[in-house]
Amino acid sequence: MPKKKTQLDRFSDMTWDDIEEWAGGKITSRGKSYQRQGNVSDLAVTGDGSLIAWVEGTKRYATRVAVDEDGLPESDCTCPYEFDCKHGVAVLIDYLERIKNNQPVPKAKHDDNRLELLDDEDWEDEDAVSEDIRQDIDGFLKGKTKAQLIEMIHEFAGQYPEMARDLSDRKQLTAGNIQTLVTRLHREILDIGADPGWQNHWNNEGYTPDYSGIRKKLEALLKAGHIDEVLTLGRELVKAGTRQMEESDDEGETEMEVAACMPVIVDALDRSSLNTADKLIWALDAVLDDQFEVCDAFEKYLHREHPKTAWPALADLLLARLNKLKGGATRGADDFSCTFKRDRLSDWAIHALERAGRNDEIIPLCIAEARQTGSYERLVKRLVAQRCYEEAEKWIKQGLRDLGEKWPGITAGLRDKLREIRTLEKNWPAVAAMRVEEFVRNPSRQTFEECRKTAGKVKAWPHVRESLLCYLEKGELPWAQKGWPLPGSGLDRPHADQRNRFPLIADLIDIAILEKKPDQVLRWYDQRPKDRFGWHGVNEGTIASSIQDHAPDRAVAIWKGKAEQLIAQVKPSAYQEAAKYLRKAGTVMSKQKKQAQWDQYLESLRAMHARKRRPIEILDGLAGKLSAKERR
């Protein structure tokens, strides 16, 4: 019986393709750059076989990499992304490099403080000092005189300017000289917010503004009881941060830095002397003005429990704002920006009415807003929730008439709601008819399966299936075919899309794959359009996988063709994709006892691309790895 592989064995078996499949090409590339630059330190193996290390990025992060049940990597990290990030990739690559070079990897201690950081959901500082180190420091400092301690503090303050500023801030707080501290913090907000964040991941260069110092100073001010000052500075921070985020060119790093300060401002708002209604208005204005989703902390605050007496004032204010918008607003279907703004405002008005206990005002407001902006879906959802099915159906049909084809997403949602009503009524023939109509609007494997489930309930699936396939082949609408077994849905039926060129080969192939009919897969694949633009239907790799047992030679030929096209693109990402297809082809050929032909094919590829270093590396890896693996 073969020995069960450990987690470390699975790490050692991983290829570059496996890592890219896990993290994606862009993150893998960044992780490799981090590893090459020596950003991974103190790599160790934990007791359960995971990898753990420090990785230097914008800050120093604790990172752990493990293997999931399917043998794929997974990582967690103290960086803002938390899971499956470039730091995890860097750790895994560093481990593989060490194994390749026969370098030992030590075991992590059971009390490694990185494990505590990673397992603590409320961690705040990846450089946090462990309890053992704290005790050592405590014992060391207790042995010093006052003069020695002062000299030591001066020495550290000279080495670390941030520490010097922090000591000065504490002095100002203790002396009650708040204005000096507030003025300096105001200047720091403007200075940090002046330069936009940016990242050039190809060169591993960039700038992310660091708001951690501002956050700590705000926390210190709040702790000292200077609540109004924190709120004032909070407004300035949001204003400066918004301007900076508008100009930044990164992947959200700047937004995360600004967002990290928001809980402090929310805490100050909650502890302020404002009455509850004014607090709610303050928070709501922050949410409504937020273009970058950095004010989630304020949204959570609005969903917390507050005195019921505060909500009527907020509801009245929002209703008044809606009335002011009415004069200049047009129907939302024609003005997305106006509609979005108005719908957000009315959503919060409904929330305030609910909290105020004024539920009888909600449906009339939803009706008025549906007519104003086309937000019929919100109205219908509330009516369905209240089991007012007849009223809901009336507004569904009104919405479909008003919106027509302008907003297909909204009309699809309305049809879904009507189907939900028919399902609650257990009107299965109507549900099946609606599913068929959705298939005509959007032929796909998923809508085909949904038709199968519902038509099966009325024992009509064999006939419905043949009609759907006939539609895909010839464009004949199912209900126009002889002997159609389902009733009408009560809605306007869709027409065959005139842009479609029947037969819809991609959908026919996809359904043949779903039904495990490889002969039909090949039939339609061989009828695919062969023009200079190539085939843009079902992924050919998926097609090859579906027929590999039925027609292995055809599958191998498809994989080879795809790989050769990709290698010809002369791009690293294309080479990695080509390797996946070649690996599949090699596996099938090995099972057919055609190892010699496989090796000969790889040699021909080597000769063709002899001057391309990366493809040659991939081909060498395939030759050695496949032959060894398949011959075991």
Percent of the chain with pLDDT over 70: 90
| Closest to 92 measured CA to CA, from 2, 153, 32 | 32
> What would you measure as the largest C-alpha separation in the chain, in angstroms?
101
pLDDT exceeds 80 at position 447: yes
- List pLDDT tens digits, range 462-517: 999 999 999 999 999 999 999 999 999 989 999 877 677 899 999 999 999 999 99
Cα distance between residue 111 and residue 106, in whole Å: 14
Where would I find the beta strands (DSSP E) of 68-159? 73-77
Residue 57 confidence class, pLDDT cut points 50, 70, 90: confident
Integer-rounded Cα Rg, in Å, for the chain is 32
pLDDT at 623: 62
pLDDT tops 90 at residue 64: yes
**Which pLDDT belongs to residue 141?**
84
pLDDT over 50 at 327, yes or no: no
The pLDDT value recorded for residue 130 is: 54
**Element of type H or E holding 449:** helix 445-457
Q: Among the ranges 358-362, 600-604, 617-621, which has the highest mean pLDDT value?
A: 358-362
- Lowest mean per-residue pLDDT among 102-111, 302-311, 425-434, 571-580: 571-580
Mean pLDDT to the nearest integer, 202-217: 83
Q: Nearest-CA neighbor of 193 among 248, 251, 252, 249? A: 248
At which residue do the structure tokens 């960039």 appear? Answer: 206
Most confident of 25-29, 393-397, 527-531: 393-397
pLDDT digits 0-9 by tens, 140-183: 888 888 888 888 888 887 887 767 777 777 776 777 778 888 88
For the chain, report the end-to-end CA distance as a whole number of angstroms: 14
Q: What is the pLDDT of residue 251?
A: 74
> pLDDT at position 132, please?
65
- Can you give the pLDDT at residue 329? 43
Q: Which residue has the higher pLDDT, 622 or 207?
A: 207
- Over pLDDT 90: what percentage of the chain? 50
pLDDT of 622 above 60: yes
What is the rounded CA–CA span in Å between residue 42 and residue 36? 15
- At residue 330 the predicted structure's pLDDT band, cuts being 50, 70 and 90, is very low
Question: CA–CA separation, 222 vs 216, rounded Å?
Answer: 10
Q: For position 589, what pLDDT does the model report?
A: 92
For residue range 273-308, list pLDDT tens digits in order: 999 999 999 999 999 999 888 898 999 999 999 999
Task: Find out if CATH 1.10.287 is the number for domain 157-306.
Answer: no
More confident residue, 226 or 38: 226
Question: What is the residue-averaged pLDDT of the chain?
Answer: 86
Burial class (CB in 10 A: 0-12, 13-18, 19+), 366: buried
Q: What is the pLDDT of residue 535?
A: 60
Q: What is the pLDDT of residue 261?
A: 93
Residue 333 clears pLDDT 70, i.e. is over it? no
Average pLDDT on 208-225 reads 90
* Greatest mean pLDDT among 50-54, 464-468, 580-584: 464-468
Range with top average pLDDT, 4-13, 85-94, 141-150 = 85-94
State residue 628's pLDDT score: 43
Contact 588, 556 (CB under 8 A): yes
| Tens digit of each residue's pLDDT (9 = 90 or more) over 122-143 | 444 444 455 667 777 888 888 8
* Span 533-557, pLDDT tens digits: 456 677 888 999 999 999 999 999 9
Predicted pLDDT of residue 336: 67
- Residue 444 confidence (pLDDT): 93
The residue type found at 630 is E
Q: What is the pLDDT of residue 265?
A: 96
Q: Where are the domains of the chain?
A: 7-128, 157-306, 442-531, 551-632
Distance CA 448, CA 517 (A): 15
Count CB-CB contacts under 10 A for residue 553: 13
532 pLDDT band (50/70/90 cuts)?
very low
Strands 198-200 and 60-67: unpaired
The angle subtended at Cα 529 by Cα 528 and Cα 533, nearest 5°, is: 130
Tens digit of each residue's pLDDT (9 = 90 or more) over 228-261? 999 999 999 999 999 999 999 987 788 888 988 9
DSSP summary character for residue 332: G
As a whole number of angstroms, the distance between CA 471 and CA 109 comes to 65
* Residue 377 CA: distances (Å) to CA of 246, 268, 353, 432, 453: 32, 37, 19, 22, 26
